Structures are given as structure tokens and as C-alpha cells.
Amino acid sequence: MTHHQINHRTPQTKISFGTTSAVITNLGLIAGLSGMEQSKTIIIAGILIVALADNISDSAGIHIFQESEFVSNRENWISTITNFFVRLVVSLTFLVLILVFPFKMAIGVSMVWGLVLLAVLSYKIAKAKNVNPINAIVEHVGIAAVVIILSTVVRYYISSKF
């Protein structure tokens, strides 16, 4: 990353990967597991696994990637730690929704919450880049929708076979 690129970072730069990753992973997990036997327990366990194991994996991946890109050690650690905590907090918001709302309502509220988070982040980044926010929102929410649909298809397929 050049000095010029660093000067044009938005305030969302440090949280964009962690937020996006946590939202899309948790939405896929919730959509994919919501119709299974003992869904609530499985989803709670899944969210906690995403918040910890998948989060550590992504954070380590970012760390190693940035080392290979010769990002300064300080900047690398800031990105790694920020990603970890952003993903943890975002994942835990989904856990709270599953715990607080009746289960079927929690699924819908979680979907809306995740898509709103992605839309707001997309909007802020697009405005900071001075590009059309609608295109960014449609693109990013569309990716999440594909993950939700694919996870649901997998759930139905697994349920029909086992």
C-alpha cells in the first residue's frame, strides 16, 4: 500500500472487512441451520464458533497477507486486532438477537440486522469514495443474499438426504 493510498482511507477502512465477514458468515450460518432439529442451540453454538475460531482464522489470514504485502508491523497488528474485535462484536450482536427474540422472529430480525449493517457500511464507503451508494449497496447486499440462498438450499438438501 502506498503512502498516497493510506492518506485516502475512510474511517470505515479498519472495520469494513471484519463487519462484512462477520455479517455474511453469520447470515449464512443462521439461514443454513435455522430449519434443523434443535436449531436454536445449534445456531448459538455456530455463532460462538464463528465469533472465535473463524474469527481467529480470518484475523491470522489478514495478518499473514499483510506481512506478505510488507505492511508495517504496527499497521499489521492494528488491522489484525481491529478485525478480531469488530468480528467478535458483530457476531455477538447476532447471538443477542437469537437469545432475546422468539426463535422464528430472531431469524428474521437477524437477516434484517445483517443486511442493514451491510447497507450502512456500503453507503458510508461509497459516499467517502464519492461513488453511487445504491450500486454499492445492491452489490454487497446481493452477495449476502446469494450466501443466504445457497445456505438455505444446502439446508434443504441435507434435510432431504439425512
Tell me, what's the pLDDT at 103? 94
51 vs 37: CA distance, rounded Å: 22
Phi–psi pair at 10, nearest 5 degrees: -90, 165
Show the cell assigned to 104: 422464528
Q: Which residues of 21-33 are buried (b: 16+ CB within 10 A; e: fewer)?
A: bbbbbbbbbbbbb
| Each residue's pLDDT tens digit, 77-123 | 999 999 999 999 999 999 999 999 999 999 999 999 999 999 999 99
| Each residue's pLDDT tens digit, 8-17 | 555 566 788 8
